[in-house]
């Protein structure tokens, strides 16, 4: 039984405050969870409550959310059986009472929701992935390693926010990760030799100024080759365009030009011809449903089109997308929706609708590794959690290495099968 719920303000990887929650059960077990935070957030995300008190942390304090956990959410769930996640999440949503969790804050709710699951897992003496996924949890995800950071995650001229290495040709997760790491180091050497900066962006990727977005893809192709891998066969590449960030008044401001959705679609088509591109996230803006319909018609059979700002991990928005044949994959970020139950619902809806699901970190992260366990629990086959640098990113990869060890011969690496649309 849930006996007590405690919360505090801690810091995330950008030095901004965030919420950490401890849930104590009557058998003495404790679950602890910390909440991530985005920079290129979607307009339809659940509400992140910040104090707005300019005297503290430039207004970004989360004392109100912490107080909401202590005064409202904790009392609302004390006495519940910790394994009744669905009832608990419902009680949390009701305690808030709004559509988008704006009263107590999705950051308050999520901290409690995840800490409950961790306490319940501990109480059942199970690793989190096993507790959440049951005996069928066994698929290790292909990592999308974001090794070049642009857009809102870097102070450079590169429009596209993220360029990934996707080592899908490996036999195991640990081999895949090693391939990605070796290529990351090759990329660093290459940047140095070209006189480009090797400073890091928010997600641990390099953040050089470059003549074009294609130049970033060329750097990846060269690094894959230098590291001794076959582009496409061993390591594919991917993008998070985060195009909502450069969509204003109906036009996409890209590489200094004003583009229509059709222009961008043509651009992606050319990229698909020229690079082993396996996934494109947020290729169009969060409200550009017509553009998305055209894009999915034209390119949806050849590449994974991932809705991040478009779907915001919201089962209702995803259902709309499925009905309109928009995109074919969903990015899954626990704090976009704010409870574990709704997150699992979004993944389940995607999976039974022929959409893939990609478990994801935020650009502001903590040492919390829940998403690694969630990726295996759902057998989603894909995870996006940054470069293999900066401990808040690496923590997730390290947790997957532990899970792989725990599963031993039962572990299956998703590999190419995670990308049913990719032929290269």
Residue numbering of the annotated binding site for Mg(2+): 240, 281, 308
Residues 6+ apart with CB under 8 A from 309: 40, 41, 42, 43, 44, 242, 244, 282, 285, 286
Q: Which residues pair with 317 in a beta bridge?
A: none
Q: Which does 363 bind (CB under 5 to 8 A by kind): Zn ion, ligand PGA, none?
A: ligand PGA
| Least spacing, CB of residue 242 vs ligand PGA, in Å | 5
Q: Are 166 and 304 in contact (CB under 8 A)?
A: no
Nearer to ligand PGA, 130 or 362 (CB): 362
In the annotated binding site for substrate, the residues are: 153, 162, 281, 308, 360-363, 384
Q: Among the candidate windows 35-43, 55-63, 121-129, 271-279, which touches ligand PGA by CB under 6 A?
A: 35-43
Give all strands of the β-sheet with 247-248 in edge-to-edge order: 247-248, 251-254, 257-259
From residue 229 to residue 268, the character string flagging contacts with ligand PGA as x (rule: CB under 6 A) and all else as - is -----------x-x--------------------------
| Least spacing, CB of residue 395 vs ligand PGA, in Å | 16
| Least spacing, CB of residue 361 vs ligand PGA, in Å | 7
Q: Are 35 and 20 in contact (CB under 8 A)?
A: yes
Identify which of 204, 213, 190, 215 has the alpha carbon closest to the alpha carbon of residue 259: 213
When CB distances to Zn ion are compared, the closest residue is 308
**How many alpha carbons fall within 13 Å on the CB side of residue 294?**
14
203 catalytic, yes or no? yes
Examine residue 204 and tell whether it contacts ligand PGA (CB under 6 A).
Answer: no
Q: Among the candidate windows 52-60, 345-353, 355-363, 414-422, which touches ligand PGA by CB under 6 A?
A: 355-363
When CB distances to ligand PGA are compared, the closest residue is 38
Examine residue 38 and tell whether it contacts ligand PGA (CB under 6 A).
Answer: yes
Whole-angstrom distance, CA of residue 277 vs CA of residue 192: 25
Burial of 15: CB neighbours in 10 Å, binned 0-12, 13-18, 19+:
exposed
Q: Which of 45, 48, 182, 203 is catalytic?
A: 203
**How many alpha carbons fall within 13 Å on the CB side of residue 332?**
30
365: left (phi over 0), alpha (psi -120 to 50) or beta: beta
Report the SS3 class of residue 72: helix
**13, 40, 107, 156: which one binds ligand PGA (CB under 6 A):** 40
| Least spacing, CB of residue 360 vs ligand PGA, in Å | 6
Q: Are 140 and 376 in contact (CB under 8 A)?
A: yes
Q: Which residues pair with 257 in a beta bridge?
A: 254
Nearer to ligand PGA, 114 or 242 (CB): 242
Q: Which does 111 bind (CB under 5 to 8 A by kind): Zn ion, ligand PGA, none?
A: none
Examine residue 393 and tell whether it contacts ligand PGA (CB under 6 A).
Answer: no
User: In 10 A of CB 81, how many CB atoms?
Assistant: 13
From residue 301 to residue 320, the character string flagging contacts with ligand PGA as x (rule: CB under 6 A) and all else as - is -------x------------
Q: Are 123 and 25 in contact (CB under 8 A)?
A: yes
Nearer to Zn ion, 240 or 368 (CB): 240
Q: Are 336 and 314 in contact (CB under 8 A)?
A: yes
From residue 269 to residue 308, the character string flagging contacts with ligand PGA as x (rule: CB under 6 A) and all else as - is ---------------------------------------x
Q: Which does 362 bind (CB under 5 to 8 A by kind): Zn ion, ligand PGA, none?
A: ligand PGA
Nearer to ligand PGA, 18 or 85 (CB): 18
Tokens of 108: 């308050």
396 catalytic, yes or no? no
Q: Which of 245, 333, 342, 392 is catalytic?
A: 333
Q: Which residues are known to be catalytic?
A: 203, 333
Contacts with ligand PGA by CB under 6 A lie at 38-41, 240, 242, 308, 360, 362-363
């Amino acid at each position: 039984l849930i006996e007590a719920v405690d919360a505090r303000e801690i810091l995330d990887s950008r030095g901004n405050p965030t919420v950490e929650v401890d849930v104590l059960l009557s058998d003495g077990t404790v679950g602890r969870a910390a909440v991530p935070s985005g920079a290129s957030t979607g307009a339809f995300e659940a509400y992140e409550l910040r104090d707005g008190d300019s005297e503290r942390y430039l207004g970004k304090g989360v004392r109100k959310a912490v107080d909401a956990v202590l005064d409202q959410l904790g009392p609302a769930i004390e006495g519940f059986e910790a394994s009744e996640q669905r009832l608990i999440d419902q009680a949390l949503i009701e305690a808030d009472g709004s559509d988008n969790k704006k009263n107590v804050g999705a950051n308050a709710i999520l901290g409690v929701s995840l800490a409950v699951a961790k306490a319940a897992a501990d109480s059942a003496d199970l690793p989190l992935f096993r507790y959440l996924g049951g005996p069928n949890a066994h698929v290790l995800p292909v990592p999308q390693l974001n090794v070049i950071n642009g857009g809102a995650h870097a102070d450079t001229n590169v429009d596209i926010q993220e360029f990934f290495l996707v080592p899908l040709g490996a036999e195991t997760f640990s081999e895949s990760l090693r391939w990605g790491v070796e290529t990351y180091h090759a990329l660093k050497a290459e940047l140095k030799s070209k006189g480009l900066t090797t400073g890091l962006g928010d997600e641990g990727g390099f953040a050089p100024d470059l003549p074009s977005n294609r130049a970033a893809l060329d750097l990846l192709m060269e690094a894959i080759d230098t590291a001794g891998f076959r582009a496409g066969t061993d390591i594919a590449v991917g993008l998070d365009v985060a195009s909502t960030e450069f969509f204003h008044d109906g036009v996409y401001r890209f590489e200094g030009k004003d583009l229509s959705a059709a222009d961008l679609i043509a651009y992606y088509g050319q990229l698909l011809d020229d690079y082993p591109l396996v996934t494109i996230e947020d290729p169009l803006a969060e409200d550009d449903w017509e553009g998305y319909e055209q894009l999915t018609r034209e390119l949806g059979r050849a590449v994974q089109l991932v809705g991040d700002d478009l779907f915001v991990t919201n089962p209702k928005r995803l259902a709309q997308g499925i009905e309109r044949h928009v995109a074919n994959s969903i990015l899954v970020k626990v704090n976009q929706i704010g409870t574990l139950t709704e997150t699992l619902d979004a993944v389940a809806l995607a999976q039974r609708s022929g959409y893939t699901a990609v478990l994801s970190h935020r650009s502001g992260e903590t040492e919390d590794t829940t998403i690694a366990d969630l990726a295996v629990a759902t057998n989603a086959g894909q995870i996006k959690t940054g470069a293999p640098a900066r401990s808040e990113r690496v923590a997730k990869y390290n947790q997957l290495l532990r899970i792989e060890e725990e599963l031993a011969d039962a572990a299956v690496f998703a590999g190419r099968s995670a990308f049913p649309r990719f032929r290269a």
